[in-house]
């Protein structure tokens, strides 16, 4: 059913446990805080050898509005590609086809990671360098053919905004939105749009899990895209700046060293990062 995902039933949790192991038993469940676009629950199960395993169930919102963004698809394929490339990210436990059948809506079950977002790092520059190395590794992935039809095109989405005859609604509704759109349009002809790398599209400090000062994983992979990696870089730097983190120099130096590529068009992509949450940036 469209709308907010409901609390999973006891039967649904039991079905997920059986999907993991036919002889598994549910030990406990709890709602996990976070997840703007989904409901997350931690499911703890006991396997036949008495091992306790924790997993995370993710049920996605569905909208009644046809023009709204559709629910994620292909997330299992994305996560498996990340695993194959040793990217720190959750692993697939129950793919979306089976999980969706159990929950009756778009869903997936992933590995539980014993970490939390670190929004007050003890060593700010090391924190930024670890994130820069991790996302550079994502951007270096050679996208397999079977994955190329799964993520949306990041560049196509940007092109629609930049080549619209009038400012899109999100710009019009913000007091400086039209000025921003005009400034972006001035830069647009010189922006390199040839890249088609795997990008996260929501790479901000809250989508990284940490433990004891070490990066455990980049999470929330339901909306990846193929496009320009600098989009991720600019999005992260913008969010870090909002939080008062002065990390741009160390992040960019580490990213360029790790990727072997210079950063280009950063100003344009920072403007894009500002435009994404418009018109209500504060609510975002």
69-117 pLDDT tens trace: 555 568 899 999 999 999 999 999 999 999 999 999 999 999 999 999 9
Judgement on whether residues 194 and 257 belong to the same structural domain of the protein: yes
Average pLDDT over the chain, rounded to whole? 93
User: What does the pLDDT read at residue 71?
Assistant: 55
How deeply is 160 buried, as exposed, middle or buried, from its count of CB atoms within 10 A (0-12, 13-18, 19+)?
exposed
Domain housing 67? 10-111
153-177 pLDDT tens trace: 889 989 999 999 999 999 999 999 9
Residue 198 tokens read as: 């795997």
| Residue in 237, 161, 136, 154 with CA at minimum distance from that of residue 193 | 154
Whether 67 shows a pLDDT value over 50: the answer reads no
The model's pTM is 0.92
Whether the CA torsion 142, 258, 199, 76 is positive or negative: it is positive
Domain with 20 in it: what CATH number? 3.30.200
User: What does the pLDDT read at residue 222?
Assistant: 86
Whether 66 shows a pLDDT value over 50: the answer reads no
Predicted confidence band of residue 118 (pLDDT cuts 50, 70, 90): very high
Judgement on whether residues 50 and 166 belong to the same structural domain of the protein: no
Judgement on whether residues 22 and 83 belong to the same structural domain of the protein: yes
Could you write out the three-class secondary structure of 10-24? Answer: HHHHHHHHHHHCCCC
Residue that is last in its domain, among 82, 111, 140: 111
Judgement on whether residues 173 and 135 belong to the same structural domain of the protein: yes
Helix (H/G/I), strand (E/B), else coil: 271: helix
First to last CA, the chain: 25
User: What does the pLDDT read at residue 147?
Assistant: 82
User: What DSSP character marks residue 130?
Assistant: H
25-52 pLDDT tens trace: 999 999 998 767 789 999 999 999 999 9
Residue 280 lies in a domain: no
Q: How many domains does the chain have?
A: 2
Do 218 and 92 meet the contact criterion of CB atoms below 8 Å apart?
Answer: no
């Amino acid at each position: 059913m469209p709308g907010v995902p409901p609390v999973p039933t006891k039967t649904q949790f039991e079905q997920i446990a059986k999907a993991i192991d036919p002889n598994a038993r549910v030990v406990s469940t709890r709602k996990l805080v976070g997840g703007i676009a989904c409901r997350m629950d931690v499911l703890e199960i006991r396997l036949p050898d008495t091992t306790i395993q924790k997993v995370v169930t993710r049920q996605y919102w569905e909208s009644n509005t046809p023009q709204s963004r559709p629910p994620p698809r292909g997330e299992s394929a994305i996560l498996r590609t990340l695993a194959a490339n040793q990217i720190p990210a959750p692993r697939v436990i129950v793919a979306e086809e089976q999980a969706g059948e159990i929950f009756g809506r778009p869903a997936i079950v992933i590995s539980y990671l014993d970490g939390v977002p670190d929004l007050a790092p003890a060593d700010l520059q090391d924190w930024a360098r670890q994130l820069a190395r991790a996302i550079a590794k994502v951007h270096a992935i050679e996208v397999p053919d079977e994955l190329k039809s799964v993520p949306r095109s990041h560049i196509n989405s940007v092109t629609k905004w930049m080549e619209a005859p009038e400012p899109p609604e999100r710009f019009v509704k913000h007091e400086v939105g039209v000025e921003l759109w005009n400034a972006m349009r001035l830069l647009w002809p010189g922006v390199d749009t040839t890249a088609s790398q795997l990008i996260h599209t929501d790479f901000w400090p809250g989508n990284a899990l940490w433990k004891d000062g070490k990066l455990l994983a980049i999470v929330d992979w339901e909306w990846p895209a193929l496009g320009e990696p600098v989009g991720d870089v600019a999005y992260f730097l913008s969010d870090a700046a909002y939080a008062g983190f002065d990390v741009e120099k160390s992040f960019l130096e580490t990213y360029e060293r790790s990727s072997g590529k210079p950063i280009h068009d950063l100003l344009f992509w920072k403007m894009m990062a500002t435009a994404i949450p418009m018109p209500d940036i504060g609510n975002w």
